[in-house]
Amino acid sequence: QQQQQQQQQQQQQQQQKQETTKTSNPESTDFEAHIPKINTVTLVGRIGQAPEPRYFDDGKVVLRLSLAVRRKYHPLERQVRNIKSGEEETDWFNLEMWGRDAEYAGKYVTKGARVGITGTLNIDS
């Protein structure tokens, strides 16, 4: 009986090891294996061009926008970099919206409007 119990315990341990190796990346730690991969970006800026939604034959809508976002600096960082107020750099982002969001933005967003957008970051190559 003791031998059977030991064999069962060994089998259970082997199964647990197999399950953990299947679900986790061998290069990541146990801590990293439990952290979800999140790709979320929030931007606040001004619309650079008048939105023009495009409608496809199958009913889908796409809206491409450019968004100007000013870089903000801490006052001490301004001193070190010799950046005066009003001389901040501007980053431009190309945005692509689909579906109801695209229709809504096409109706109500105008050039120069200040907007906040949350979405995912995709880099085209």
Tokens of 13: 């341990």
**What is the structure's pLDDT at 85?**
76
In which region does residue 82 sit, left (phi positive, over 0), alpha (psi from -120 to 50) or beta (all else)?
left
**pTM here?**
0.61
Torsion sign over Cα 108, 110, 112, 115: positive
pLDDT in tens, 3-24: 777 777 777 766 665 555 444 4
Hey, is 60 helix, strand or coil?
coil
Encode the chain (125 residues) as per-residue pLDDT tens digits. Answer: 667 777 777 777 666 655 554 444 455 567 666 766 688 888 999 999 988 889 999 989 999 999 999 888 888 888 888 888 777 788 999 988 999 888 998 999 999 999 998 888 887 76
Query: What is the Cα 10 distance to its own chain's centre?
Result: 43
